[in-house]
Structure 1
Amino acid sequence: MKRSMKRSMAVTFTFLLLVTVVLAACSKKEETSNASQPPTQSATQTQSADPSQSASDDGTKDGKYDPIATITTVTDKKPTVKYKDGDSLENNPWTRAYEKEFGIKLKYLWEVDQAQYKQKMNLTIASGDLPDFFKVDQEQFKQLRDADLIEDLTEVYNKYATDRVKSVMDDAGDVVMKSATFDGKLMAVPYTFPTREAAEMIWIRSDWLKKLNLPAPKTMQDVLAIAEAFTTQDPDGNNKNDTFGLALDKDYAAINGFLNGFHAYKGIWLEDANGQLVYSSIQPQMKQALGVLQEMFKKGQIDPEFGSKAFDKVGEDIASGKIGMLYNPFWAPMYPLQTSADKDPKAEWQFYPIVSVDSEPAKFQAELGVNPSFGYWVVKKGAKHPEAMLKMLDYYLTLNESIDPKVISEMSVGEDGSEIWQMNAIIASKSFGNSDQWLRVSGALKSGDTSNISAGDKSIVEKVQSALNGDRTLWGWNKVYGVEGSLGQANEYRKNNLYQTNAFYGAAVSASVDKGPTLSKLEIETITKIIMGKTPIDGFETFVGNWNKFGGEEVTKQVNEWKANNN
């Protein structure tokens, strides 16, 4: 069980975060490069000098390892990466750039589908044959630390982390670095991520709203009325009963915003009235929300086959005009809604903030700045060059800041749509980088002045303008980055601090390592059975009892011990 078993089942959600956020986050800056001629370090270092330029005890000469250092790692496959011209996992723009800039030859011990990464990493940890650096979740981080298999990075970080790297870590908040520190020792570099920017909003077929003369949602009651109308009033006009009011997938990648409307939160820890931490998925608010979903399912407002459909299959239904409402973050227009716009020239989608079932404002559940599935970058104990990971991370961040059009065109997104930037070996992100970029882009769109923004920002401005001029293939860019784009709503969440953050941010407790898989399976199966009506809603109490019985009570005790020791 991860930091609260949060989204262990939501592989698809992770895919959205790691892949589609890029269509918004990387396009966000479109700022990276293909590396037949990668930018030189001196040309791209804009904040602080790389410490390796003056250091020699790490085996470098003029900033490069001499002789070349072979650094091993592992990775998960990126669906949007397309290798061309003989390129491969170990020979591509990024690996060539690492070798040219730092004398680092990157070697991958294995690559697996993202859904298999956790299992493969568990096997790797069990074998003891660890790569030099790699990404792990909370449970794996604890296992490695307890077994004394990873490096203390305290001195390495202090010496080799540039101001740029430290700025990104500081931006995520003190608790993020604290979560990687034990007994005063930094044992990992957090995989910082814009988790709060992933706050969901309600995406609705606005052309269907208009056709059925329905008002924009202000309450959860409005949402339920829209779902019913989209199911029963033939919004697509084909005289068939073949549309569904609400999108739902088997991994529940698109459910949190709906639950949050009932003040229910899936897979995080909350502080109760007594100051104790309680697991959100077993609270009464979850029962209420699941009861409503069960009624929606009975009425045909949810696809009866959702329990066997991954999010990409739901995306196909959206593209085919079968679904009218989706809870998803700001990047939804890039995927899956762009496919709807491509297939149907009349299809329009509009976002709305999540709404509440009562007078209390709805808050979106959020983590405190680390990637939900891959929380930490760690270095194998005894690795010859533990600082190499930080050099590559700084390089990634450096290119993200580049204003050089050549850099942007060569290592970001290829003409064939391949996301070249995902070929890099290590990532960390600012907490609100996308929202900050929207402020710049929307400002330029309003004023018409692009003289003070980067080449990456200008590129986005041009795409938005093309969309406004009728280029339907760029519809999603305007819906995200336009003056009225969804990042504006993400920024509103930010301004008003409309987040229910996970109160537990420590490494996984020992009970969650042992009991987590069982508890996660129990939770996902119960949610599915209740929604489908296979388990009556009163069976929720049975689930709560079993959750506690099968390890949840022990996990809760240890989480609260953690809280007591961290106040």
Structure 2
Amino acid sequence: MKKTKKILSLVTIFLLITSLLVGCVSSTSKDTPGSQDQQAADTKKEDSAPAGPYDEHLDLIWIGHYAGYSPKEDTEIEQLIEEKFNVTIHPVKMDYTKDEQWNLYWASGNTADSITVYQINNRYERMISQGLIREITEEMLRENMPTWMKKVESMTDPEILKIKMYYDGKLYGAPSFTATQAIPWVTGIRKDWMENVGVTKAPETVDELHDLLVKFVKNDPDKNNKPDTYGMHGTNNGFGFILGAFGVQMEGFNIRDGKVKADFTTEEYKQALKMLQQWFKEGLIDPEFVTDNRDIMRKKWADSKFGVMFDNPWWFAQSTANNLTDMVLVNNPNAKIEFIPPVKGPDGKSGASIAYPKFDGNSVVFGKNTSDEKVKRIMAIKEEFCKDWDFYVRCFYGEEGKHYTKDKDGVIVPTAEYLNYEKQVESGLGSYFALIPVDMDHFRRITPLNDMPAYNVAFASPKIYTTNGFPFAGTNESLLVKGADIKKVREEFYFNAITGKIDIDAEWDSYINKLNAAGLKEVEDEYQVLHEKVIK
């Protein structure tokens, strides 16, 4: 009897422990790898797994890219990947664009295997400094992700990539870059206005642009018999291509005579401001550019209040919601927009604004405890998206006829239902799993042909970097601390100079002194040190 009770007691304890284990779940969306249910699932998958490179079943904790949403579990796309690569994926349930959720996840002692970097508040650098991610070798990267790397290298200078993909001499993940990051801004001109004022050739120099702007102001380009038009507007980097004609940008830092120097302290910058001041005095520039925000500027463009717009070509593309082309055509169906390369300055320089290449945003990094086997499996998944177009389309866009159609040129067009981000999340479509570098071939496959004129001009344009025009390692701490004060001095001088409130030559030395007092010299010096780290 005692023996029977003892056996029953042991059974009861066993069942209790089992129930407790089954009831425990991790912060990921599935049972923790190693739990009874998961072990049973693993055994089942291992029994049916094909022999070959993926014969060992692996569990992967996955943090992908869904901006503003938490991923769903066991979606159809997740299951496709699991079956193809003999893995069980555990999506981490959080909106990783929210820093508070992100910080809480890691502070709670959690980890992950595949992590797509959402680069806000220096998150990539913080992950490294906090020891959350592991190193990999370049050999491992190139051996397991050759197509991925080929895509990235096709869109940027390989020497810049070689420098920027490392952090303090160490490699932490697969760098990412897309065609849209390689696209500078483009100048759009109202071609119907040009025709109305008798101009048949688009301007190629700042002098030719000046003459065209004069006609846009004085020759009634919209034919409404009212003097109510300006040549251009300056809000939202609207003068970026003008500054580019002098080889500078409003916030730029570049190497000059071997030393880092702020663009906005150079003689070229001064000359650009003097020219813009003259154009402002002539009434060629909308005087409200100082106070107008971006939305007001766009409203004026839509209402045909000025004829030259400088912006990212994505905003001119008619496949983009609220684009700059359709907003003009709605009010004037006969309007035409011509896209031109950046005009040349007095010394033949020209440049369209673009950010300096960065490869950490949307890069793929790996948790500190992730084994080499898991790293290679994750790399294999990402590589497959890059080399197998059909598999990529299935996982990113879905099934033709259900999730997307194709236009007459064969370009993928998502259905209205699946343009809804929530619907993509429900199916696992989009960028959570299948976010990859988008090279030009890929870009043309997904971009309607009528959007390509702006993109083609932009791609062919000479570039000028809007911030730092050189590689450097780490973070400029001086800029973080002193940047706001420097910006205040810079912007005050910029607006006062263009609007004619100051004599630029007379105030120049005082302006430079104020910048240095605000900490500009320390920022330049720190950039110099950070730059020298990567060129030695």
When the two structures are superposed, what TM-score results if normalisation uses the length of structure 2? 0.68
What is the match of residue 106 of structure 1? Answer: 91
Larger deviation: 100-109 or 378-387? 378-387
The answer (yes or no) to whether the contact 2:176–2:363 under 8 Å persists in 1 is: yes
User: Which structure 2 residues correspond to residues 351-500 of structure 1 after superposition, within 5 A?
Assistant: 351-367=339-355, 369-370=357-358, 374=361, 378-379=365-366, 381-382=368-369, 390=379, 393-394=382-383, 397=386, 407=399, 410=403, 413-416=413-416, 418=419, 423-425=430-432, 427-430=435-438, 432-433=440-441, 437=444, 456=445, 464=449, 477=450, 480-481=451-452, 485-490=453-458, 492-493=460-461, 498-500=462-464
Q: CA deviation at 1:220?
A: 0.1
**CA separation in 1, counterparts of 2:415 and 2:307?**
32
The answer (yes or no) to whether the contact 1:190–1:377 under 8 Å persists in 2 is: yes
Spell out, residue by residue over 1:326-381, the C-alpha distance to the aligned partner (whole angstroms, 9 max, x if none): 1234442433123222432110011122111224242345455336x948555554
Distance 1:343 1:368, change over 3 A: same
The answer (yes or no) to whether the contact 1:504–1:559 under 8 Å persists in 2 is: no
Distance 1:239 1:386, change over 3 A: farther
Q: CA deviation at 1:186?
A: 0.6
What is the match of residue 511 of structure 1? Answer: 478
3-state DSSP class of the match of 2:95?
Answer: strand
Distance 1:105 1:142, change over 3 A: closer
Q: Percent identity?
A: 17
Counterpart pick for 1:276 among 259, 280, 284? 259
Q: CA deviation at 1:262?
A: 2.2
Counterpart pick for 2:249 among 262, 265, 283? 265
Q: CA deviation at 1:536?
A: 5.1
Distance 1:135 1:281, change over 3 A: farther
RMSD: 4.2
The answer (yes or no) to whether the contact 1:75–1:110 under 8 Å persists in 2 is: yes
Which structure has the larger Rg?
A: 2
What is the match of residue 62 of structure 2? Answer: 71
Q: CA deviation at 1:181?
A: 1.3
Distance 1:295 1:546, change over 3 A: same
3-state DSSP class of the match of 1:544?
Answer: helix
Spell out, residue by residue over 1:186-211, the C-alpha distance to the aligned partner (whole angstroms, 9 max, x if none): 12433313367423332111111111
Matching residue's letter, 1:262: F
Counterpart pick for 1:345 among 328, 333, 344? 333
Larger deviation: 507-516 or 138-147? 138-147
**CA separation in 1, counterparts of 2:475 and 2:277?**
32
Spell out, residue by residue over 1:155-213, the C-alpha distance to the aligned partner (whole angstroms, 9 max, x if none): 89538842221222333324224213145421243331336742333211111111111
What is the match of residue 141 of structure 2? Answer: 158
What is the match of residue 97 of structure 1? Answer: 77
Q: CA deviation at 1:260?
A: 0.6
Matching residue's letter, 1:311: R
Distance 1:104 1:353, change over 3 A: same
User: Which structure 2 residues correspond to residues 143-292 of structure 1 after superposition, within 5 A?
Assistant: 143-154=126-137, 158=141, 161-171=144-154, 172=156, 173-182=158-167, 184-194=169-179, 197-214=182-199, 215-249=201-235, 251-252=236-237, 254-272=238-256, 274-292=257-275
Matching residue's letter, 2:53: S
Q: CA deviation at 1:309?
A: 4.1
Distance 1:361 1:512, change over 3 A: closer
Distance 1:71 1:201, change over 3 A: closer
How many residue pairs match? The answer is 443
Distance 1:91 1:128, change over 3 A: closer
The answer (yes or no) to whether the contact 1:365–1:499 under 8 Å persists in 2 is: yes
Counterpart pick for 2:498 among 531, 538, 563? 531
Per chain length, whose mean CA-contact separation is higher, i.e. which structure has more relative contact order (CA < 8 Å, sep 6+)?
1
When the two structures are superposed, what TM-score results if normalisation uses the length of structure 1? 0.65
Larger deviation: 411-420 or 276-285? 411-420
Distance 1:544 1:53, change over 3 A: farther
The answer (yes or no) to whether the contact 1:195–1:369 under 8 Å persists in 2 is: no
What is the match of residue 17 of structure 2? Answer: none
3-state DSSP class of the match of 2:268?
Answer: helix
Gaps of 5+ in 1: 1-51, 78-87, 438-455, 465-476
User: Which structure 2 residues correspond to residues 14-25 of structure 1 after superposition, within 5 A?
Assistant: none
3-state DSSP class of the match of 2:62?
Answer: strand
**CA separation in 2, counterparts of 1:99 and 1:391?**
16
Gaps of 5+ in 2: 1-50, 83-87, 405-411
Matching residue's letter, 2:414: G
**CA separation in 1, counterparts of 2:269 and 2:351?**
14
